[in-house]
Chains A and B, each alone.
Chain A
Amino acid sequence: MSETYIARSSAIAARMLAGQMMIMNSADSTFFTLSEVATAIWQAADGRTPLREIVRNHVCEQFDVDPEQAHMDAEQFVAELSTHGILLVADHPLEAP
Chain B
Amino acid sequence: MSLMTEMGQKAFDLGVPIAVHLDVTYRCNERCVHCYLEHDDHGEMTTAEIKSVLDQLAEAGVFFLTFSGGEVFLRRDFFELVEYARRLLFNVKIKTNAVMIHEEEARRIRALGVDSIQISVYSHRPEVHDAITKLPHSFERTMKAIRFLKDQGLKVTIANVLMTANLSDHYQVQKLAAEMGVHYTVDPTITPMMDGDTSVLGLRIPAEGLTEVFRNPALVANMEEFCAPPKAPTEDDLEGYSCSAAHSFCYISPYGDVFPCVQFPLPSGNVRQQKFLDIWNRSPQLNEVRSIQAKHLTVCSSCSHVSSCTRCPGLAYMEGSMRGPSIADCEKSYYRTGVPTANMLRLGIEKPRGGPLVQIQPLAVSI
Residues of A within 8 A of B (CB): 10-18, 20, 22, 24, 26-27, 29, 31-33
Chain B 1-43 interface 0/1 with A at a Cβ cutoff of 8 Å (1 = within)? 0111001001100101010000000000000000000000000
Determine if A15 and B4 form an interchain contact, defined as CB atoms under 8 angstroms apart.
no
> Which residues from chain A contact B51 at a C-beta distance below 8 Å?
none
Query: Is B207 an interface position by the 8 A CB rule?
Result: no
Docked complex Cα distance between A31 and B64 (Å):
12
CB distance from A24 to the nearest CB of B (A): 5
Determine if B3 and A16 form an interchain contact, defined as CB atoms under 8 angstroms apart.
no
Determine if B3 and A15 form an interchain contact, defined as CB atoms under 8 angstroms apart.
no
> Which residues from chain B contact A26 at a C-beta distance below 8 Å?
91, 113-116, 155
Determine if B62 and A15 form an interchain contact, defined as CB atoms under 8 angstroms apart.
yes
> Which residues from chain B contact A12 at a C-beta distance below 8 Å?
89, 113
Docked complex Cα distance between A12 and B113 (Å):
7
List 6 A-B residue pairs with CB atoms under 8 Å apart, sorted by A's residue number.
A10-B86, A13-B91, A13-B113, A17-B10, A26-B116, A31-B2
Main secondary structure of the interface of A (DSSP, over half): strand
Docked complex Cα distance between A10 and B11 (Å):
25
> Which residues from chain B contact A33 at a C-beta distance below 8 Å?
3, 7
Determine if A13 and B89 form an interchain contact, defined as CB atoms under 8 angstroms apart.
yes
Docked complex Cα distance between A26 and B116 (Å):
8
Known: A26-B113, A29-B155. A14 touches B7 (CB 8 A): no
Determine if A22 and B7 form an interchain contact, defined as CB atoms under 8 angstroms apart.
yes
> Which residues from chain B contact A10 at a C-beta distance below 8 Å?
86, 113
Docked complex Cα distance between A15 and B3 (Å):
15
Determine if A24 and B115 form an interchain contact, defined as CB atoms under 8 angstroms apart.
yes
